[in-house]
Each structure stands twice: as structure tokens, then as C-alpha cells.
Structure 1
């Protein structure tokens, strides 16, 4: 353990407090700042593999063991008294925050693409984001949902700016599959409880929407394949039926691939497997894409890109989108390798 390791960990917790928790979870903002100022907790975190030191994972692991903390004192006491249990949860789990509301920021892209779609999500967790055509949406002046909509399905609200091409209809998803190192099963009570614990404490509406989406997924049962995005995506992409627009997408996943060279290799190879590659990640994940977006980004936002070209700044939980691409120009595919001429829109 070195001081520089402590400094790096502390900086990541302060950044989480400033850019992610602020305005969304007062409790998590307070706890993250306190962790960043506590040398003993930082020393414990430094004993973990780098990918396991992330703020969200520590916060949810303590909550999973000890419940929602009343504040820093009870949180710190739980770490001191139950570190071995907390450590075991951290090492055995990943955040896998399966936020279905992110579909609201993906929809303006998916609705523009040649239909029907074949979707592959890498880092799919329980597959909730593989079901964008099963949910309802409220974009302020525009609402849409399935024709057979019931009160049981979640309605995701998303603030949009004037430039955002708000969809008028849901996309036609004719085939879908997910890829994940550790798929979660929505029919398993323990795994579902972990998903629910990942929702930040004050966000009751977000929890209710997640629970509704889980009910939808239990009925729809999207297929999730166990595998590594760096090794197993090619074989899964080969299963997609011909005559459909093949879309590979991911949200807050590539940050879990620690080496920038591995991320860049993925970006270079994924476009040979699909017609459209949609990335919804922190701008730091793909610096070359972020550079194209210029310096007008919004703090705490993900950068939404298509085939390596910036399209929008998106709220990490799907609550807002600011469009930066030319909404009058079609989103260009890599190639229409899966789409027959009849499906290509003019």
C-alpha cells in the first residue's frame, strides 16, 4: 500500500460525491466524502483489487450487510465491525446496476434505425434494458408505450431538449440477447434483492420502476448468455438473424474493463460485428470519442455515441438527455450487413 494508492482511491470517492451522488443521494454523497477523508477505510479499500474499490460497490455492500445507514457513524461502525463480511460481498458481487430507465435515452436512437432490430446488450445483468419496446415513456410533450399497455408496466420520464428527436413509436425488436460475466436471474429472490439494493436509498420512485421492470422481465424472459464481451461477443453476434439491423449496445459497462487498451480494442472490433454500436458510458471511458464531443459536456452525464460518434449527453439513470448530433441527419451505419434492401429507410 502506498500513499498514492490512498490518494487515487480518495479522489475517486470525491469524484463520485461531486459528479454522481450530488443532487441524487444526499446520504451517498455524505458517505463518499467521509470515506475519502478516512485513512483507515482507504487502507482497507487498497487491499482490494482495483476494480473492487469503486464507491457504489462499497456503499451497496455495507447496505446489504447492515441495512441503510443513518449516517457516517453507523456506516463506519459497520465497516469496522463487519469488514470480513463486507469484503466477501464486494469480492463476490459487482454493481450490475440494471437501470431500465436508461431505455428512455436509448430510444431516440433505436427508433431512428432501420427496423426490425436485433439487439445485443453487453453487460446485460438481468436483461432489463433489452426490453425497450415493453415499457412506456413520458418525454414531456410526447408519451408512448406498447399497444397492450397495462398499469403494471413502468413509465419512464425523461427530460429532453428541443434538439432531441423524440420518438413517436416504439422500435420493433424482433430478436434480442444479452451477454454478461455473471447474469442475474429475475426469478431468483436473492439476486432480485441484490438488484433492488443497488438502487440508491432516497430514490423510492426509481425502486418502484425497477420492481415493475423486473415483473415485465419475468414474463418476457430475455435470453442472457454467460460470457466475456472481449471473447464471446463474436459468437453471439453470429446468431442474430439476417434481415434485421443488428445493434450492439452497452451502458456503464466498459468502465469495468480496467485497461484502456482493452477498451480501445473492443471499440475497434465491435463495429465489424454489427450495423450499429451504441455506447452509453462516462466520457472518460473512450477519450477519443469524448474529444469529438468538445468541451460542452454536462457534469455527471454519460456520453451517448453511435459507431464512435457523439450523439448526446445522457443522465446515468435515464432521467434526461441533451442531444448534440444533427437531428436532421440520419445516424450512419457501419454497413447494412444484416439488413436487406427492403428494410433500409430512404
Structure 2
């Protein structure tokens, strides 16, 4: 309640107040130089301390008038440079008079006498005020343009990031479009063979295919899905393959109950599972086991797919190479997606699973 009242009755926005405070040191330096120059112009009978006070009063008055006029006339709109300079020149005499009155009041001098005394040097003072105002305006104008350039750069950066996310989503949908026909053709071919010899297995395969397609359709429409949804998709996928591979495929899905609602981008795990089976378990005569697990460490989600298949080639025992990534489109796609979505906050590693097989690990920040 207190915060709402403070915002409602706040006269000067915090951002503007910070800018004004940040400009004070520069104004003090300019006013100090003006005091030296005025002391030199007036020479005899001139006190540097008095000139310093008057210079600050006049300088801050001119600056305040220009600031207020700029905000009232243009606000956040685009400023016309020529009109802005004319405004500064017009307000310089007003700021000079106002600052002189303030200086006179500070020293308890008669205002009329001070203004009359300064009229002897009015041309020099007005010219000096105009010059300083134009210099200050030029500096202020440059700061405005720099701020606008930074704001435009931030907008362009946000727009580019949005385009990258959209492109990544399109790439994901393309990847799904590549995977699903391959899956469908293989599954339908297996169904065709099973219907004649084992109707029960054929019905079970058809039921798992429906579950898989429903889970795929649900995940393809979302930017992020829960780990529970991802594991349902993985289980349906593995169940389909288990019908075809039989005892050659054994799998374990390890999803702790407290992590079921954690969000991740869709289709992160399936390419890893597909590669583990296609390049690890399926070519192996006796098959093997695949384990899909997830852990949370502080604000990091750790996804792991391990298998006991043929493993990595001997020359890739320690590190995965770029050529191997290119050979496995799913791995390369995951690297690109993680980089686009999370930058350096996410990692993807592939290593040997001793004594046999491979381990793929994805680490990414937990999504709110």
C-alpha cells in the first residue's frame, strides 16, 4: 500500500531523478570555469567566491529551465535539434536573470542594485550564458542520442532473440516432421506383420502408437512442457520399440516425484533416446539397457540418457568431435537449441559409459 502511494504521488520519476543527480558534477565543473572567466572579465572589485555562487545559481537555473521546457514540449518524443538549440538560447537570458536574483538573495544584496550592476556587463554575461547553454545543450543532446541508440539496440536485440526463438520452434517442428513419418512407417510395417500372427501384440502396439502421437501433438504446441509430459512421450516411444525389439530392449525411466512439473523445452530427450537405440542398442546382437533420468542441483536441471550399447568409436572415447555431431543430426540440433534458448547457461556432453555404452547429459537452468 505504501509503495503504491509513493508511486502515485511521486513528482519526479526515479529514472529522471537519477539522471539529474548524475549531471550535477558536470554542472559544478562548468560553473566553476564560468566563475573564473567572470572574475577575469570584471577584474577589479570582483570576488571569486561571489562569482562562484552567482555562476552556480545562474548555471543551475538555466539547466533546470531547459530540462523542464524539454520535458513539457517533447517529453519522450523525437526532438528537433535546431528547435532545441533555439530553446536553449531563448531560455539563457531568463536563466541568467533568475540565477542573479537567487544569488542576490543568498548574499542579501538588493536585487535591483545587483541587476543594475550586472547591466554594465550584460552583453558579455548574456553571450556567456548563451554559449554555456548551447554547450550544455549539445552535451545533453548527445546523451539523448546515445540513450536512443542504446534503446534501439536493445529493441533490435530483443527482436532478434524473438526471431531466433521462432526459428528454433520451426526447426523443432521440422525435426518432429522428420521423426514421425519414419516412426509411423516402421510401426505400421510392424503392425502389418503382427496382425496376421499376433493380434494381441498388434493391438498393444496400436494403443502405444496412439499414446505416442497424442503426447507428440501436445508437446509440439507448447514452448515448454513439464518433465512428466516429456517422460510420457519417451515411455510411449520406448514401448513401441520394445514391441519390435522384444527382450533386446530394456529401459528404466527415473523421474523423481518432486520434479514432475519442472519445465523444459520439448523434444530434448527423444533425439538422445533415438540415437542411443539406433547407434548403440539396435546394432548390438544382444541389445542392451537404456536409462533416462533427471536430477535437480540448486537451480540446474540435469537430464541424462545412458545406454549399454556399442558405445562411442575408439577415437571418440574422451571427447565428442564436430564430425560426429554432424553425423548425428539430433545431437547437433540439441546443441543449437540449447545455445539459442539458454546461451552459455546450458551444456550438452556425450561420453563413454564404462564398461560399455554411452552417456548423454544435458544441463540447463531451471525454468520458473
TM-score, normalised by the number of residues in structure 1: 0.22
TM-score, normalised by the number of residues in structure 2: 0.21
Name the structure where strand makes up a greater proportion of residues: 1
Name the structure where helix makes up a greater proportion of residues: 2
Higher relative contact order (CA 8 A, sep 6+): 1
Q: Of the two, which has the highest radius of gyration?
A: 2
